[in-house]
Structure 1
Amino acid sequence: MSTSSHDKKDSLRTASHDAHAPAPLLTAGAVEPTPAVAAAVDADQARQLALLAHLSPDERRAAEKALVRRVDLRLMPLLILAYITNYLDRNAMASARLGGMQTDLNLDNAQWATGISILFVGYILLQIPSSNLMLWLGRPRLYMGLAIIVWGGISTATAAADSYSHLLVIRIFLGVVEAAFFPGALLILSKWYTKTELSTRTAILYSGSIISNALAGLIAAGILGGMDNVGGIAGWKWLFILEGVATILIGVLCLVFLPEFPHNSPFLSETETAIAVQRIAEDSGRRDIAGEDGETPLSGFYAAMKDPVVHLLAVCLTFCVLSVSFNAFFPSIVGTLGYSRIVTLLCTAPIWAFAWLVVFFNARHADKTGERFLHISIPMLVGIAGFIIASVTTNLGARFFALFIMASSYGGFVVILPWISNSVPHPPYKRATAIAYVNCISQVGNIAGSYVWDSRWAPSYWQSNTICASSALVSIATALVLRQVLQRRNRALAQLQGLEHGAAEDGKHGEKLKLAQANFRYLV
């Protein structure tokens, strides 16, 4: 890079300091951007810093608070609605089973379990390519909106299944298209929110799943009880038709109103765009625009695969997912309380409503304190207590109480999700790969979980509860190891804090030095 370019970088550092924003940082292992790209990046950042230079610290804080509130109101409702329909479509089979779907399709228990788990084949294989493609296109509004519309149509087609083979084909394609949503939604959140905002927003997003679990029973009770054989169509078929149509409508809303990324969302003013970009740069130690530093999807993939933190996160989340595998079988588990089909479906609602409160306040406190490990392990330990209670008694009151605290163990699961972005904050393609990879590997827990809650083990399900409790312990142990690794990395950054810029630039600590000087630290 030329001397004039270095002078320009120095002036930008000064301007950045005055505007409370750090200089852009190169990424270890990234390809040096071409002079034209570097000049464009410098010009763009200089323009944005100039827009912010006139703001006092108080004005900057007020403007940032207003921006976050505006983004919250535009982004979060759409993602929540999409997630509600995502889980309603994916888990409709649990309610449809009570409506006679398994009997109508002549499926044995093994075929039923395979019909549930086969979805995760496409879901696993497509997550990494899908997340990187969305990041490369830079248009999450179009990409996500179209994906939601397509999976809504596929879910509706489940009503036309009349054999085991038809069901498998539909579920495979449903998994392929749904692969775009959850890792994509986590990536979108990581682009808009800082690390001390991310757990709360992830909990709000995940409320879509919990709300869908609560609504699923109510919706299924209404449809199975009131629409069975309407127009000569079985109630469980109406369930897939109506939920699929609702999904398509939500997809249309996302196609029109979902924000793009911070640097290219047309609903923001120039000043708001500058604030949105710079606040994330300050939080992570570098600008968060894909490709600016020469990184590619392939280099991001290799960087993620070489980072042991990514694999620890994958193990932690996989066993956590297995521990909460009761999700897909919840109506059947609640059915062990001895109530009728409709009352059983209605009983699921208050359990998930309580779980949502636990998830939200646990995540909010995690953001407030900046702590992650305890906010993961404590809810999961409470969940283990629920598994133990459910294993040793079928007493109505004790079993109902156990179901409540089993569901509240989702509080730990939800905090693991933002820990991915907290632990792999940059560069963008590496983070996109890490989010998708961790979520992708964790689906092994869902596949295994499809076989954990075998109806032959009812009503105590002690074998199932033992497996889930053991999985939760493995997840907690892995989280503890991850915490130690991140603490060691933070100590290394602290040791480099006082070094002069460039002192280790051409050594192995070059990138760490830049992060240390940007006051970046991992959350543990």
Structure 2
Amino acid sequence: MNKQENDPSVEQVDTIQSQEFNYEEKAVNLKGIDDALMFTVDREPITWTAEEERRLLWKIDLRLIPLMLLACLLQYSDTQSYGVAAIFGLIKDLKLYTITSDFQLNLSKYQWSTSVANLGSMFAQYPLLIVAQFLPLGKFSSVMVLYSGLLAMLFIVCKDFADITALRFFYGFQVVTTPVFIMICGMWWKTEEQPLRIGIWISGQAFGSIVGQGIDYGAVSVRGAFVQSPWKWIYVILGSVTMGFGLLMLWKFPDSPMKGAFLTEREQEIAVMRVQTNNTGMQTRKFKKQQFLEAFKDLQLYIIAFSAFTFAFANGALGSFGALLVTSFGYSNEQALKWCMPASGVAVSSMLLSGALGYRFHRYRIPLALAFVLPTIAGNIILWRSPRDKKVALLGGLYISTTFYGAYVQQLSLISSNVAGHTKKTTLNAAVFVFANIGGFCGPFAYPGSEAEEGYPTGQITVLCLMCISEALFIVLLVYYRWCNKKKVALVAQHPEVANDPAIGFRDLTDKENLMFRYSC
């Protein structure tokens, strides 16, 4: 019998061999080749010391991490402000409510205006990521920060439900910054280095909630032109600061290690070569249909996408109804703003701790994610079952319910480390964040205004169920990754020749095609 009919690994080996780079025809094949391979093709192999790499890593960290952290902080400050603005006049000024026949407050208009940003993100996610595949990622992400600041400023000119709904739809486009940052991580850091870095910059979202709430608290006290609508000062201040920072990013944020002007030529070479073992490549400016199709045949897409849905559901609910939830405990609007801040503090701590643990125990990312979801489950049980007069218990339940952000860090690091092939990476990122935006869209609707006095039990039960499902999905993903890795080891033993290609990590092979690729789990 023909060996190719007997041995499924032959097709994978043939795929690798067929993608060997013809150096003499490089000018013709530019669009299908990873930028990193083009950078290294005419260069002599180099070696470097551990001390050189350590100094380079510090240099990269000090340039990129603060910019990524502040970008997340400012964008999320703008985003979370909508929930705070709601209790300081936005709902009233824009008439985002109705009174039912039995004199109940109906907040469906506010819920729709909150959720429509996720619809904008959902529809724009993949088109924007496809565009990003052909553009310098540093400049693209900087422009998106500028864009979010500009649209935040425009909130103050909205007059009614139609205005704010349309604006928030387009505001949702800025969420593409997060998946772009994930792709950037794969360009600059080794697989084992990524959880800590992701944990630091993504914590900017939770820091943004704290900083934003602090700015919001001061902004609503400002008098002057908007004394009757204090919520508008929130957007004037945050929007202008975000736009200013976007301009700074355009100036300072590098597009890739090959174009990092803050690095010497040797440092650029080391920066490129040291991440070759990631086997995820850097950037290929060509859409590859087979990689697009492979992404949708990959089980990890659906598992990660649904876990992203659960986290975004909880995040959307907290961002839009966190302050309203605290007022349901019996606190005033000003007190609610103050007592929301520790919840953001727990979220920040969870992200940073998760990143640090992910760096120390990078082979146990999924077990870490499972551990960070457990307190969230407990917190939602407390919020659901505690009597309404037990304020301390309710606040405690709210605070520990935010530990799932630690699992979110591990989820992002899995996307960064476990998906290879640029078109596949773009496609999977887009699909995951589309599911996340659907979750963010649905979250606020689990908190009907009629349940305010009861503490929104529907919301607590829904989040509780989704987090339990997320735990089960992570366990399935762990089993799947280990099975794939075991299969790869057997295939390499049968075809040892694939291990002899030093540039295999820059051939734009997918994680399925590259037999040397191993999933981090």
1:17-39, CA deviations, whole angstroms, 9 ceiling, x for partnerless residues?
xxxxxxxx996698776651289
Structure 1 residues 511 and 388: alpha-carbon distance in aligned structure 2, compared to 1, 3 A threshold: closer
Partner of 2:67: 78
**Cα separation, 2, equivalents of 1:107 and 1:43:** 54
Task: Choose which of 326, 332, 345 in structure 2 pairs with 1:340.
Answer: 332
**Cα separation, 1, equivalents of 2:79 and 2:358:** 29
**Cα separation, 1, equivalents of 2:392 and 2:440:** 29
Partner of 1:428: 422
Partner of 2:434: 440
Partner of 1:480: 475
Task: Choose which of 205, 208, 232 in structure 1 pairs with 2:204.
Answer: 208
In structure 1, give the amino acid aligned to 2:167: I
Task: Choose which of 267, 289, 294 in structure 2 pairs with 1:303.
Answer: 294
Is the Cα–Cα contact under 8 Å of residues 289 and 428 in structure 1 kept in the other structure? yes
**Cα separation, 1, equivalents of 2:17 and 2:427:** 15
Q: CA deviation at 1:230?
A: 4.1
Structure 1 residues 398 and 512: alpha-carbon distance in aligned structure 2, compared to 1, 3 A threshold: closer
Root-mean-square deviation (CA, aligned residues, Å) is 2.7
**Cα separation, 2, equivalents of 1:267 and 1:32:** 32
Is the Cα–Cα contact under 8 Å of residues 124 and 179 in structure 1 kept in the other structure? no
Partner of 1:361: 353
1:321 aligns with 2:312: yes
Total equivalences in the alignment: 480
In structure 2, give the amino acid aligned to 1:374: P
> 381-390 or 348-357, which moves further after superposition?
348-357
Task: Choose which of 358, 361, 382 in structure 2 pairs with 1:389.
Answer: 382
**Cα separation, 1, equivalents of 2:180 and 2:244:** 19
**Cα separation, 2, equivalents of 1:511 and 1:307:** 11
Partner of 1:280: 275
**Cα separation, 1, equivalents of 2:95 and 2:512:** 63
Task: Choose which of 173, 176, 181 in structure 2 pairs with 1:180.
Answer: 176
Q: Is there any run of 5+ residues in structure 2 with no aligned partner, and where?
A: 1-12, 98-106, 501-508
Normalising by structure 1, what TM-score? 0.85
1:523 aligns with 2:520: yes
1:465-494, CA deviations, whole angstroms, 9 ceiling, x for partnerless residues?
110010001111111111111111000112
Q: Secondary structure at the match of 2:410?
A: helix
Q: CA deviation at 1:500?
A: 4.0
1:401 aligns with 2:390: no
1:39-75, CA deviations, whole angstroms, 9 ceiling, x for partnerless residues?
987774355453x23x3xxx1x222222221111111
**Cα separation, 1, equivalents of 2:432 and 2:281:** 23
Structure 1 residues 314 and 288: alpha-carbon distance in aligned structure 2, compared to 1, 3 A threshold: same
Q: CA deviation at 1:343?
A: 2.2
**Cα separation, 1, equivalents of 2:338 and 2:18:** 53
**Cα separation, 2, equivalents of 1:26 and 1:334:** 60
Task: Choose which of 438, 445, 449 in structure 2 pairs with 1:455.
Answer: 449
Partner of 2:85: 96
Q: Secondary structure at the match of 1:498?
A: helix
Partner of 1:67: 56
1:135-192, CA deviations, whole angstroms, 9 ceiling, x for partnerless residues?
322x12322222221221111111111111111111112113x143111111112221
Normalising by structure 2, what TM-score? 0.86
Identity among equivalent positions (%) equals 22
**Cα separation, 2, equivalents of 1:489 and 1:374:** 18
Partner of 2:168: 171
Task: Choose which of 90, 109, 112 in structure 2 pairs with 1:111.
Answer: 109
> 248-257 or 263-272, which moves further after superposition?
263-272
Alignment of structure 1 residues 200-279 onto 2, 5 Å: 200-224=196-220, 226-228=221-223, 230=225, 234-279=229-274
1:387-426, CA deviations, whole angstroms, 9 ceiling, x for partnerless residues?
00111113011111111101122111221111112221x1
Is the Cα–Cα contact under 8 Å of residues 229 and 235 in structure 1 kept in the other structure? no
In structure 1, give the amino acid aligned to 2:69: I
**Cα separation, 2, equivalents of 1:145 and 1:503:** 39
**Cα separation, 2, equivalents of 1:477 and 1:173:** 35
Q: CA deviation at 1:227?
A: 1.4
Is the Cα–Cα contact under 8 Å of residues 418 and 511 in structure 2 kept in the other structure? no
In structure 1, give the amino acid aligned to 2:162: S
Structure 1 residues 43 and 375: alpha-carbon distance in aligned structure 2, compared to 1, 3 A threshold: closer
1:489 aligns with 2:484: yes
Structure 1 residues 515 and 455: alpha-carbon distance in aligned structure 2, compared to 1, 3 A threshold: same
Q: CA deviation at 1:513?
A: 9.9
Partner of 1:156: 153
Is the Cα–Cα contact under 8 Å of residues 213 and 348 in structure 1 kept in the other structure? no
In structure 1, give the amino acid aligned to 2:360: K
